[in-house]
Amino acid sequence: MKRFQHHVCYVTGASTGIGRSSALRLAEEGAALFLTDIAAEDLEETAKLAREHGGDVETRICDVSDETQAGEGIATCVERYGRLDVACNIAGILRFAHTHEMSFENWRRILSVNLDGVFLTCRAAIPHLLETRGAIVNMGSTAGLMGLPYGAAYGASKGGVHALTRAIAVEYAQRGLRCNSICPASIETRMATPEFPKGVDMDLLMRPASLAGTRGPDEVAKLVAFLASDEALHINGEEIRIDGAALA
């Protein structure tokens, strides 16, 4: 399939995991890609792989939580390609802590990347996406739909992403812009294997995954591509779980 022939797709968090898999899937389907991350070496590896899949690829080091960098990333993409059709907000961080022991610094960092970064990228991208009647795909989480023990900041950030997604969808639907979020669980990525604080009840933490098992990030990339494509033209403002029935 070449659903993204002549389309320009902007992907944050493209260095590894779901971001990398999504970039490769979009490249396979004909997209021109503008990929961003803060991990330069891994980002270039993603770009290399995407080019091998036939993609026209540009990269930029970008901290999505920085207002200037987020805005310049989108501006540079549009300057390079002349248009923007899809924005995929996949950059994110996950840190566990007992809530009563979490530092405000860690709380703010998680919220700034996972929520502020999505807002800043969307804000910069929306004027260009309105011109192409394009799509936004935000990476939420089942942690934004249920309680995640030891993950209060992460869950709060993803709940915010879901609310932001719905607001954008309603505000711009009549102008042809779609915005959806994806809620993965039990996906094998580098981010899914963080350090845990002492005293964590792993049975409590891993209970949803015990039913679902685990899958690779390619499974999520398929859904990213679908929601970004014209096949999903009537899907807007949704939070779509991809969790193997963990929350069913």
d(CA 185, CA 81): 34
pLDDT at position 229, please? 98
Question: Which tokens sit at 163?
Answer: 């609310």
User: What is each CA distance from 168 to 9, 76, 84, 133, 184, in whole angstroms?
Assistant: 18, 23, 17, 13, 21
In angstroms, the Cα distances linking 105 to 11, 45, 101 are 27, 31, 12
pLDDT per residue, tens digit, the chain (248 aa), is: 799 999 999 999 999 999 999 999 999 999 999 999 999 999 999 999 999 999 899 999 999 999 999 999 999 999 999 999 999 999 999 999 999 999 999 999 999 999 999 999 999 999 999 999 999 999 999 999 999 999 999 999 999 999 999 999 999 999 999 999 999 987 776 655 567 677 767 666 565 555 556 779 999 999 999 999 999 999 999 999 998 888 88
- The DSSP secondary structure of 124-192, one letter per residue, reads HHHHHHHHHT-EEEEE--GGGTS--TT-HHHHHHHHHHHHHHHHHHHHHGGGT-EEEEEEE-SB--STT
| Beta strands 135-139; 86-89: pairing state | parallel
Structure tokens at 143: 């942690």
The pLDDT, as a whole number, for residue 190 is 63
DSSP reduced 3-state for 44? helix
What is the set of domains in the chain, with CATH numbers? 8-241 (3.40.50.720)
Q: What is the pLDDT of residue 116?
A: 98
Query: Model's pTM, two decimal places?
Result: 0.92
Report the relative pairing of strands 86-89 and 8-12 from DSSP bridges: parallel
Q: What is the pLDDT of residue 248?
A: 83
Q: What values do phi and psi take at 118, rounded to 5?
A: -65, -45
Q: Is 154 considered catalytic here? A: yes
Active-site position among 81, 150, 154, 172: 154
Rounded Cα distance, 6 and 122, in Å: 21
